[in-house]
Structure formats: structure tokens, C-alpha cells
Structure 1
Amino acid sequence: MKKLLKSLKWPALFVGIILLLAACHRAPTRTAKETDKMKGVWLTDVGTMGLTYSTLLDETLHHISKSDYDRVYFSVYGLRGQLYPTRQRGDLIPKLPFPNAVGSMARESRRQGLKPYAWFEYGLMLPQFDPVAKNNPDWLLTMANGEQVIENHGVPMVWLDPSNPEVEAYILAHIDDILKEKSLAGIQLDDHWAVPRQFGDYRRSLTALTTKVHEHIKTKNPEFELSLSPNPYQFSLNEYNQDWLRWVKQGIVDEVVVQIYRSSPAEVQQAVNNSGIYTASRYVPVGVGLYTGRKIKPFNLQSIKDQINAVEKQNLGHSLFVWEFMVLRVINIHLNIL
């Protein structure tokens, strides 16, 4: 046994040195890219944590910056909890005590010349099993038939009432927690910052809450941006009470990235034309959100390139959902493992 341990000593030491060098290495700094059209990527919370704890964050953001992208939207509030310290909601996944994933993402993004946005992914939606939902049943919306749960990708979800003062305080407290990270460029709300029409007409309540969020942010930090990534306008309005064109015209959002998740360039172009994005572009910077596919069966890579070209021909920026899916697609092409 002693001989075996002795024989393993040097290989283990060598591996340890390699890991230490990898942890200490940092990709070179890049300057911010000046552009008139946004080019962004989304990162999931799992991707953000994985990159942070594996020391691959700097190389990844360096590569994104070298590829002429200028911003990243990384999920900080979702199904599994949040990536920032807060007393508002329990964590549903364990986190290592260091480093701070949100702080690391924000600061390293800035070092690579990228604008970092904390993506408040789940908005007013919560999984039914979330402690906030269980401990505050009076915060939840109820349909006319008495039901509170709507399935979302197979997960039973409940929705917070935007007109409830305690819900407002809960949301603003989360915003305060995010604002503590000074390196961030802004926060992004998305299509879950909404209320499904099954619960009734909540357009005024949702608009009022969005106004308060924007005012709260600007009072704390006038330079901090409130970004929004909704679905096309009529669908958002009719199905989810999300009157986002009104918000744009009122000046309570600072940029819009419209989710146009389609399978072909022709479908993307048709959806863009009817999305409301051209109206929004008169007031704020805009972009088109494009879908890179699921983990197991992503879109054809050439199709994604063609969709980007179709958007750029319309003089519009874009953002890719999500970076991890794109990487898995490239791995699939080169290694043929999926």
C-alpha cells in the first residue's frame, strides 16, 4: 500500500499544480464594444454557477466578447432559487460559499467589455413547492374556478398578485438585493413578468407595479437599466396582460428584446413584422431574441446563422437563448456525441 501511495504522489502533485494554474489564469482584458445594435447572449443560472465554480467564467466571457457580442443576460432568479444573497426567498439548490456568482459574472463581464444584466427570470411566477408560495397563500392569484396552478413545461406553477402590497414589497426587496452589485448594467424582466389571462384582466395592476419597479431602480441608481424580454406584443397583451408597448411609451423600460423563437428565418421575419418591435424602436434600443434549441435536439446551426442574418438585414440587434445550448450544438457537430 505504501508503494502504491508513493507511486501516486507525483501524478497527484502534477494534477494539483495544473488545477492551481488553471484557477489562477485569467483571460486578457477587452475594451467595451461601441455598437448601434445590441448583440447579446442569455446564460441560465446553472450555466452561470458552473462557469463560476469551474474557473471558466473569464475564458467564456472573453470568447463571447471576441465574437463581437456586447452584453450578457444571466439568470439570477428562477426555478431553483437565486444567485444573490437575500432574505426574501429560500435557496432550493446548494451553493458553495465562494465566490459570489453574481458579483463574479458582473465584474468579469465588465473586464471583458460586456454589459452585464441580472436576468430576473421567473418574474411573478413561482413553482408550487416554493416556500414563498407555501408560506404566503394570500399572495397568490386564483382563477374563477378556484384553481391557482398552471403547468409550465411540466412544472406546476403559481403566480403572485401584482396588486398585493406585500407582493410589491417582496419584489422591491429583491430589486434592492440585486442593486447591491454595483458592476451590473441593469436587470432584465421577461415574459414571466406577467399574469396569465386565466386569472382575469390585470393589465393596470401589472403596469402600476412595473412603474414602481422602474421608479425604485432609478431612485437608487439613475444609470441602472430596466430591460424587458417579452413575447410579441399582441400575444403578450392578450394572453399575459403584459402591455409592454404602453410601458415603452411611458418610459418605464429602457430596452426591449422581443422573444421571436421560431424554426426558420422566414418564420422569424414574419413574427418580427407583427411583434411591435418597430414601434418600440422609436423609443428605446431593441433587439430580437433568437432560440438556439434544446439541450438534446438543438436547431441546425446554419439555421441559427440564417436567422441572425435575417434580423441584421432589418437593421435590428439580437440576443441568443441560450449560450449553453449553442455550445452543446457545436459539440454535437464536432464530436457527434448527442
Structure 2
Amino acid sequence: MKKLLKFAKWPALLVGIIFMLGACHRAPSRTANSPKHMRGVWLTDVGTMALTYTTLLDETLHHISKSGYDRVYFSVYGLRGQLYATKQRGELIPKLPLINPMASMARESRRQGVKPYAWFEYGLMLPQYDPVAKNNPDWLLTMANGEQVIENHGIPMVWLDPAHPGVQAYILGHIDDILQEQSLAGIQLDDHWAVPRQFGDRQRDLTALTAKVHERIKAKNPELALSLSPNPYQFSRNEYNQDWLGWVRQGIIDEVVVQVYRSSPAEVQQTVANSGIYTASRYVPVGIGLYTGIKAKPFDLQAIKNQIQAVEDQNLGHSLFVWEFLVLRAINARLNIL
């Protein structure tokens, strides 16, 4: 038994040495890209943590930069919690000690010449089970029929009231916590920074809170951008009280990436034409968000390339949702496993 234990130590030692060598190695830095139009990539919180914990973050960002992309939007706040220290919300995501995924992503992005945006995913929407929702029932919006829950992909979700002082303090507190990381280029809100029409006309309330978020960011650092990734304008305004073209004209949004998740280049171009993006482009940098997920068919990289070309033909930038799906596509293309 002693001999067995003696030999068992060697594989563990070898793994430890390999891990240490990987942790010590860093991809070479790169100068910042300056493409004619924005070229971005989204990463989920799971992807950000996985890359950080496996020491592959530098290699991934180096490859993103080398591929001509100039910005990365990485989720720091979502269904599972957040990737930064905060007293606003409980810790739902288990994290390794002495490792800061948000700081690592922001600083390594800068080293690779990529602009890092902290993506405040899920905005005013919370899972029904979230302690914030349970402990603050007066913060939640209620429909005319008394219901508060709307399912999103099978998950019961509730929505925060943008006019409630407690909600405003909660949101601004999170913004302050995110801005503790000084390497960021900005913060991005998305289509969940909204209020479903089932809760009534909340357009003014949402606009007022957006203005407060923008003011808070600029007070911390005038160079930081408040980015938004909404759906096409008419749908956003009519279904989710999200008057993002009004926000652009008002000067409280600094960048817009419109989500156009369609199956073909023709559908992308048709949607772009009526999305509001051209009006927004008169005021701020703009781009089109393209879906790279596994639901799109055919399941190959060429389908994504065709959509990118369709967007570039319209003289627009783009961002890809999400990096993890691109990896699955690349694996599929090489191994033909799906």
C-alpha cells in the first residue's frame, strides 16, 4: 500500500507542475485594433469564469484580438449572481478564493488591445427565487390581473419597478460596485433593461432610471461608455417600454448594438433596414448583434460568415453572441460530431 501511495503522488505532482506552467505562461500582448466599424464578441459569466480558472483567458483574448475584434462584452450580472464584490445581492455563484474573474477579464482585455465592457445582463429582471425579490416584494411590478411572474425560457421571472427608490438605489449600487474596476471601457445594458408592456406604460420611469445610470457612470469617469444592446426599435418600444432611440437623442446612451438574431443573411438585412440602427448611427457608434448559437441552422461557421458579410455590406459593425457557441461550431467543423 505504501508503494502504491508513493507512485500515486507522481501523477498528481505532474498535473500540478503542468497547471503551474500554464498559469505562468502568458500570451504576448497586442496593440489595440482600430477597425472601421465596431467588431465585438459577447461572453457569458460561465465562459468568463471557466477561462479565468483554467488560465486560458489570455490565449482566448489574444485570439479574439488577432482576429480583428476590438471589444468584448462579458456578463458580470445575471441569473446566477455577479462576478464582482457587492452588498446589493447575495452570492449565488461559487467562486474560487483569491481570483477575480471580472478584474482578470478587464485587465487582460486591455493587455490584448481589446476594449472590455462589463455586461449587466438581465437588467431589471430577476428569478422569482432570487433573495432580492423575496426580501423586497414592494420592489416588484404587478400586472392588472395581480400577477407578477412572467416566464422566460421556462424560468419564472419577476421585474423590478424602475420608479421605486429602493430599486434605483439597488441598481446604482451595482453600477458603483462594477466601476471599482478601473480598466473597463464601459458598461453594457441589454434587452432586459426594460419593462414588459404587461405591466403598463412605464416608458418615462425607465428613461429616468437610464438617465441616472448614465449620469452615475459619467460622474465616475467621463470616458466610460454606456452601451445598450436592445431589440429593433419598434419592438423594444411597443413591447418593453424601451425607447432607446429617444435615449440616444437625449444623450444618455453612448453606443448601440441592435440584436438581430435571424437564420439567414436575407432576414438579417431585412430586419436591419427597419431596426432604427441608421437613425442611431447619426448620434453614436452602432453595430448589429448576430446569433451564433446552436439553434441556428446550418450548424457551421460559414452561416455566421455569411451573416457578417450581409451586415458589412450595409456598412455596419457587428458583435457575435456568444463566444462559447463559436467554439462549439469550430469543434463541430473539425470533428463533424453533430
State the TM-score, normalized to the length of structure 1.
Answer: 0.97
Answer whether contact 1:128 1:156 (CA < 8 A) is retained: yes
Aligned equivalent of 1:235:
235
Partners of 2:98 and 2:84 in 1: CA distance? 12
Distance 1:112 1:206, change over 3 A: same
Distance 1:105 1:285, change over 3 A: same
In the TM superposition, 1:279-294 aligns within 5 A as 279-294=279-294
> Could you list the per-position Cα deviations for residues 92-144 of structure 1 after superposition, in whole angstroms to 9, with x for gaps in the alignment?
12111121110000000000000000000010000000000000000000000
Aligned equivalent of 2:82:
82
Match of 1:256, SS?
A: strand
TM-superposed CA distance for 1:298, in Å, is 7.4
Aligned equivalent of 1:27:
27
Aligned equivalent of 1:161:
161
1:43 matches 2:50? no
> Could you list the per-position Cα deviations for residues 37-78 of structure 1 after superposition, in whole angstroms to 9, with x for gaps in the alignment?
000000000000010111010000001000000000000000
Answer whether contact 2:263 2:297 (CA < 8 A) is retained: no
Quick check: 14-23 or 104-113, which moved more? 14-23
Aligned equivalent of 1:272:
272
Partners of 1:310 and 1:296 in 2: CA distance? 16
TM-superposed CA distance for 1:295, in Å, is 7.7
Match of 2:210, SS?
A: helix
Partners of 1:15 and 1:155 in 2: CA distance? 39
In the alignment of these two chains, the number of paired residues is: 338
Partners of 2:71 and 2:329 in 1: CA distance? 21
> Could you list the per-position Cα deviations for residues 199-230 of structure 1 after superposition, in whole angstroms to 9, with x for gaps in the alignment?
00111111111011111111111111100000
Aligned equivalent of 1:317:
317
1:194 matches 2:197? no
State the TM-score, normalized to the length of structure 2.
Answer: 0.97
Distance 1:27 1:298, change over 3 A: farther
Structure 2 unaligned runs (5+)? none
TM-superposed CA distance for 1:9, in Å, is 3.8
Question: How much identity, in percent, do the aligned residues show?
Answer: 82
> Could you list the per-position Cα deviations for residues 238-286 of structure 1 after superposition, in whole angstroms to 9, with x for gaps in the alignment?
0000000000011100000000000000000000000000000000000
TM-superposed CA distance for 1:300, in Å, is 3.0
Structure 1 unaligned runs (5+)? none
Answer whether contact 2:290 2:319 (CA < 8 A) is retained: yes
TM-superposed CA distance for 1:183, in Å, is 0.2
Answer whether contact 1:298 1:325 (CA < 8 A) is retained: no
TM-superposed CA distance for 1:16, in Å, is 2.2
In the TM superposition, 1:50-199 aligns within 5 A as 50-199=50-199
1:259 matches 2:271? no
Aligned equivalent of 1:306:
306
TM-superposed CA distance for 1:23, in Å, is 1.0
Partners of 1:115 and 1:121 in 2: CA distance? 18
Give the alignment's Cα RMSD to 1 decimal.
1.3
Answer whether contact 2:300 2:333 (CA < 8 A) is retained: no
Which letter maps to 2:223?
E
1:213 matches 2:228? no
Partners of 1:36 and 1:245 in 2: CA distance? 23
Match of 1:262, SS?
A: coil
